[in-house]
């Protein structure tokens, strides 16, 4: 029976990071020792604990079909991305830049060396308040702590990497509403008026459902055509 990855019930940063490690192995396959960033390369960096733990576990974990040498599972082409260890930047005012919009318009920052520090955003984005955009070097704190931000990002990019069948959003939405009691909510990403995905993530066995902006998409860690749910959906289309 597939484990339910109930991140909402894992209240501490350590528990959530532990569950994230288990999810990565469920979604991306068996972990190998070489998938982690070597401890010696992290020892002198004074990283915040959740980020250090993530890099130790998955800092060099390649995608199933990597397109280039450092195409790790926490990156996704054309999407905002977690920086790998070699790209981390320390600012003059004491922050660590660890995440970047794919065109570089904004970055996410946190504090080095802390147990589970807050996350800040710096830069300009669509809908950016004038009070920030008019400043030469804007920065604002968001509601996520670092461990929660890592969970949100890694779950989203993992779902984005799963193979997809285009059944149309109405089919997905209808199926989810008809079988809602079979899906357990495992994570939620609040609406923060920021350039971040807001929504909820549900699980039913091997199937993960992403609900965002009123639309539903289903994902599995195997090819969709081999999974019972997607055969049912395909039959609805064919019928």
| Same-domain status, 106 and 24 | yes
pLDDT at 88: 95
Give the Cα separation of 97 and 89 in Å (integer): 5
Question: Residue 231 falls within a domain, yes or no?
Answer: yes
Give the Cα separation of 199 and 195 in Å (integer): 13
Side-chain-side CA neighbours of residue 175 (13 Å) = 23
Task: Give the model's confidence band at 80: pLDDT under 50 very low, under 70 low, under 90 confident, else very high.
Answer: confident
pLDDT at 171: 83
| Same-domain status, 67 and 139 | yes
Count the domains in the chain. 2
Task: Give the model's confidence band at 70: pLDDT under 50 very low, under 70 low, under 90 confident, else very high.
Answer: confident
Question: Residue 66 falls within a domain, yes or no?
Answer: yes
pLDDT at 135: 47
| Same-domain status, 187 and 94 | no
Instruction: Provide the whole-model pTM.
Output: 0.89
| Same-domain status, 137 and 38 | yes
Look up the CATH number of the domain holding residue 106. Answer: 3.40.1580
Last residue of a domain, one of 138, 161, 184: 161
| Range of the structural domain that residue 224 is part of | 163-239
| Same-domain status, 157 and 171 | no
Last residue of a domain, one of 139, 161, 183: 161
| Same-domain status, 157 and 222 | no
| Same-domain status, 185 and 137 | no
Question: Residue 228 falls within a domain, yes or no?
Answer: yes
Q: Among residues 179, 182, 165, which one has the least CA distance to residue 219?
A: 165
| Same-domain status, 155 and 167 | no
Question: Residue 195 falls within a domain, yes or no?
Answer: yes
Question: Residue 3 falls within a domain, yes or no?
Answer: no
Number of CB atoms found within 10 A of residue 5's CB: 22
Mean pLDDT of 209-230: 80
Question: Residue 234 falls within a domain, yes or no?
Answer: yes
Last residue of a domain, one of 161, 193, 228: 161
| Same-domain status, 157 and 167 | no
- Using the 8-state DSSP alphabet, how is residue 225 labeled? G
Residue range 173-211, pLDDT digits in tens? 889 999 999 999 999 998 766 667 889 999 998 899 999
pLDDT at 132: 54
| Same-domain status, 33 and 143 | yes
Q: Which two tokens stand for residue 237?
A: 């289309």
Question: Residue 128 falls within a domain, yes or no?
Answer: yes
Residue range 149-180, pLDDT digits in tens? 999 999 998 988 876 555 566 888 889 999 99
| Same-domain status, 107 and 156 | yes
| Same-domain status, 232 and 152 | no
Task: Measure CA of the first residue to CA of the last residue in the chain; give whole Å.
Answer: 31
Question: Residue 177 falls within a domain, yes or no?
Answer: yes
Q: Which two tokens stand for residue 181?
A: 């009691």
Worst-scoring range by mean pLDDT, 39-48, 144-153, 161-170? Answer: 161-170
3-state secondary structure of 178: helix
Phi-psi region of 127 (alpha: psi -120 to 50; beta: other; left: phi over 0): left
């Amino acid at each position: 029976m597939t484990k339910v990855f109930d991140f909402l019930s894992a209240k501490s940063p350590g528990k959530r990071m532990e569950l994230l490690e288990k999810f990565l192995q469920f979604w991306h396959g068996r972990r190998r020792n070489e998938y982690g960033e070597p401890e010696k390369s992290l020892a002198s960096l004074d990283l915040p604990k959740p980020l250090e733990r993530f890099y130790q576990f998955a800092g060099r974990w390649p995608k199933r079909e990597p397109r280039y040498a450092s195409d790790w599972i926490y990156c996704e082409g054309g999407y905002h991305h977690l920086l790998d260890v070699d790209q981390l930047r320390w600012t003059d005012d004491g922050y660590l830049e660890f995440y970047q919009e794919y065109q570089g318009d904004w970055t996410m920052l946190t504090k080095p060396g802390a147990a589970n520090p807050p996350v800040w955003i710096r830069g300009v984005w669509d809908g950016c308040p004038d009070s920030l955009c008019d400043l030469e070097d804007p920065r604002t704190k968001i509601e996520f702590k670092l461990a929660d931000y890592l969970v949100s990002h890694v779950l989203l990019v993992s779902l984005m990497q799963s193979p997809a069948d285009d059944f149309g959003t109405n089919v997905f939405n209808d199926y989810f509403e008809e079988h809602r009691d079979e899906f357990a909510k495992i994570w939620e990403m609040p609406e923060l008026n920021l350039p971040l995905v807001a929504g909820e993530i549900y699980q039913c066995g091997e199937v993960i459902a992403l609900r965002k902006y009123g639309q539903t998409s289903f994902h599995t860690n195997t090819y969709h055509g081999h999974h019972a749910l997607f055969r049912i959906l395909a039959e609805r289309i064919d019928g």
